[in-house]
Chains A and B, each alone.
Chain A
Amino acid sequence: MNVRAVAGLSILLALLLAAPLLLGGYWLSVLILVLYFAYVGQAWNIMMGFAGQLSLGHALYAGLGGYVAAGLYTHYGIGPWMGVFAAVGAAVAAGAIVGYLGFRFSLAGVYFALLTIAFGEFTRIGFDNWDWAGGSGGMFLKVERGVSDLANLRGGTVMFYYVILAMAAGAFLLCRYLLESRLGRYWLAIREDAEAAQAVGVPVLWCKMLAVTLSAALTALAGVWNAFYYNNLFPETAFAVGRSIEMTLSPIIGGLGTLFGPFVGAVVLTGLGELFTDLSDQFHVSGLKQIFYGLALLIIVMYRPAGIWPWIATRLGFEEKRK
């Protein structure tokens, strides 16, 4: 990073910190969505962008995390800051199972993606029939108005905004550290050519397992946050394939394997997506947002397959252009 990048980043961080003072409730909730998608995009990017393993079942980890933490809270009164450990544990276990089955038996590319979808789907069916989790009727957290209880994650929009901001910033810093680390270099090597990576001593299976479990753990945190923010969980939405696909869009559009890609993608998708939701309402045409998502994906894949961020970064002089 050069001076311009550091300056840009500082201004961005200052604006984000001051956002609750500057924005009204509606735009703050949009910004919350942006940060949520930036965060889960960052988590998913570890698997696909860094290690090159396509997961289309990340809703599994978010859903499990959310259900475990929400269940512990509603049934036993165990707060989310404790519950999060169990939530992460559950997601890591699920990620380890999916990863081991996929990687040990060399399911590559689309076949691995199908495996991840399958696990999400049968977890959804399982939760549909699990009474402890409320079955298909869903699980609800008690809504307490006018409370601001960070210890139990009960509070208003501003509190949830700062929590997701901290998570997004933390995930960014973690990924930045990982990319520079030995493990991060090994992931990139595996992404580019696993056989060549193994020949220079990279323990491929182990590195892939670390990618899937770490990605699952981070995604579970998003699930916990999501459950306490919306106060409800339904198997039909928490484990939906659509939820998984949503998580992949920000990094794909913003720039796979880049640090800023998930954030830039989330700004573009959610920001413009909300605009289209408004237009939908105004002109009484439904589904404009979905059409926009489809078009955005199409345009990016065709004209900027590396994503928006690498293109912006070189234009603004944040990164040196590669020959």
Chain B
Amino acid sequence: MSGARLELAGLGKTFRGLRAVHDVSFAVPAGAIHALIGPNGAGKTTIFNMVAGVYAPTAGSVSLDGRVISGLRPDRVCAAGVGRTFQIVKPFKGLSVLENVTVGALHRRSAPADARKHAETILERLGLHDRRHQLAENLTLPDRKRLEVARALATEPKLLLLDEVMAGLRPTEVDVMVAFLRTLNAETGLTILLIEHVMRAVMALAAQVTVVSYGEKIAEGTPAEIARNQAVLDVYLGHEEPA
């Protein structure tokens, strides 16, 4: 498993005349961790959904290692090497934790026994192994978030899309997830793009941050640069009208 380079070029999406995303471009080098932040309703999840194949963009393109993946169906995007989590978690509720992750593992390992073994190793890494025989619907929210990550990783992606996996976690749990992602990234070189509101996680993980507001990119830089960027501060905190 190694990472792939992600490139968004002039990406746009219009829903029946409503401009949700407009001309967003940025690139994530192979093996990098990149954060996408912005206020609620800025279009982050729409951007994610275009990368993951849920929506076809109305303008621009998404490419992975130079190959255009925008417009492909979600399962084809997954085959191209993109794993994603859902902001509102979507476990297979009636299946056990192990079965959930096995479905993901079956994508590249057609033998169920092999897929199951792979799923077990991923569950061990995410600390869900003890709970592998529980039904997914009985998991707590933090565990469901970890299950989302485990299931996406089981498809052996080159790019991992994480949609607010820290939301709802306690600070210590955030630290555990951050440590896990950092180790994963260091060991495998997996490229990670995350949407995140928990700044503690963004600051700790991301090499580069892209900020969107009202569907447009307003800033890009290192976390430290973004924290000082006036446009970003205005968007998040509002700006004072001169008296």
Contact = CB atoms under 8 A, between A and B. Distances in A.
Interface string B56-93: 00000000000000000111001100011010001111
A195 B54 CA distance: 9
A182 B110 contact: yes
B89 to A, nearest CB: 9
B120 interface: no
Interface stretch (A40-48, A183-191, A212-220): A183-191
B28 interface: no
A193 B134 contact: no
Nearest to B84: A199
A188 B107 contact: no
A133 to B, nearest CB: 41
B134 A323 contact: yes
B152 interface: yes
Interface stretch (B13-21, B33-41, B96-104, B173-181): B96-104
A186 B133 contact: no
Given A182-B110, A192-B93, A322-B96, A198 B138 contact: no
Contacts of B171: none
Interface string A189-217: 10111011111111110000000000000
Interface string A5-39: 00000000000000000000000000000000000
B110 A200 contact: no
B112 interface: yes
A197 B91 CA distance: 9
A195 to B, nearest CB: 6
Contact of A196 (B86, B133, B135, B138): B86
Given A199-B86, A200-B154, A182 B106 contact: yes
B151 A200 contact: yes
B103 A185 contact: yes
The interface centre, meaning the residue of A188, A189, A203 with most chain B CB atoms within 10 A of its CB, is: A189
Contacts of A144: none
A181 B113 CA distance: 10
Given A193-B90, A195-B90, A200 B107 contact: yes
Contact of A200 (B73, B94, B103): B103
Nearest to B85: A199
Contacts of A196: 86, 90-92, 151
A198 B73 contact: yes
Nearest to A192: B92
Interface residues of A, number: 22
A323 B138 CA distance: 9
B75 A201 contact: yes
Interface of B: prevailing SS: mixed
Contacts of B204: none
Nearest to A181: B112
A263 to B, nearest CB: 21
B85 to A, nearest CB: 9
B52 interface: yes
Contact of B74 (A180, A198, A323): A198
A163 B151 CA distance: 44
A201 B78 contact: yes
A197 B103 CA distance: 8
A316 to B, nearest CB: 20
B155 interface: yes
B95 interface: yes
Contact of B75 (A185, A193, A203): A203
Nearest to A323: B134
Contacts of A322: 96, 133-135
A185 B102 contact: yes
A156 B54 CA distance: 57
Contact of A193 (B92, B102, B152): B92
Contacts of A195: 54, 74, 86, 90
B95 A192 contact: yes
Contacts of A186: 103, 106
Given A192-B94, A196-B90, A322-B135, A201 B155 contact: yes
A192 B93 CA distance: 6
Nearest to B96: A322
B94 A202 contact: no
A234 B222 CA distance: 75
Given A199-B52, A199-B84, A200-B107, A323 B133 contact: yes
Interface of A: 180-182, 185-186, 188-189, 191-193, 195-204, 322-323
Given A189-B103, A200-B151, 6 more contacts: A185-B102, A192-B94, A193-B90, A196-B86, A199-B78, A201-B75
21 contacts: A185-B103, A185-B112, A188-B95, A192-B92, A193-B91, A195-B86, A196-B151, A197-B92, A199-B52, A199-B74, A200-B103, A200-B152, A201-B78, A201-B155, A202-B75, A202-B107, A203-B73, A204-B75, A322-B133, A323-B133, A323-B135
Interface of B: 52, 54, 73-75, 78-79, 83-84, 86, 90-96, 99, 102-104, 106-107, 110, 112, 115, 133-135, 138, 151-152, 154-155
Closest 4 CB pairs of A and B: A192-B92, A201-B107, A201-B78, A196-B90
